[in-house]
Amino acid sequence: MDSKVIVGLTAPLTIVNGAKRSTLIARVDTGATKSSIDKDAAHDLKLGPALHNHMVKSAHGVKQRPIIAIDVEVGGKKLYKVEFSVIDRSHMRYKALIGQNILKKGFLIDPDIRG
């Protein structure tokens, strides 16, 4: 367990785009297979291009979403070329969601930790 990074129900997600670093507070969601980011945030941060489109099932139905690869840092752990689906999250509190594709890379969740 020493090598695991512990995060809370939310966590700072630092997006590394070249020399530019931007941090968002992201919601941690063990039920989400893939991480996602708000389409406006992705545009503002100049992320992309889309690698491909992927059919994604969510509480809002089944839709095709563009998939982008981003270098990120979560809890001090650097991850390269992590896939994120791009979605309209404007109606949601958090502009990014950390899903299983990140959590499976050495993270544990402690609900008592505040992000």
pLDDT tens digits, residue range 28-78? Answer: 999 999 999 999 999 999 998 999 998 877 777 888 899 999 999 999 999
Task: Spell out where 35-95 has E strands.
Answer: 35-38, 52-58, 61-74, 77-87
The distance between the two most distant Cα atoms of the chain, rounded to a whole number of Å, is: 39
Is the pLDDT at 89 greater than 90? The verdict is: yes
Displacement of CA 99 from its chain's centroid (Å): 6
pLDDT tens digits, residue range 5-22? Answer: 999 999 999 999 988 999
Token pair of 13, please? 């997600």
> Domains (ranges, CATH) in the chain?
5-109 (2.40.70.10)
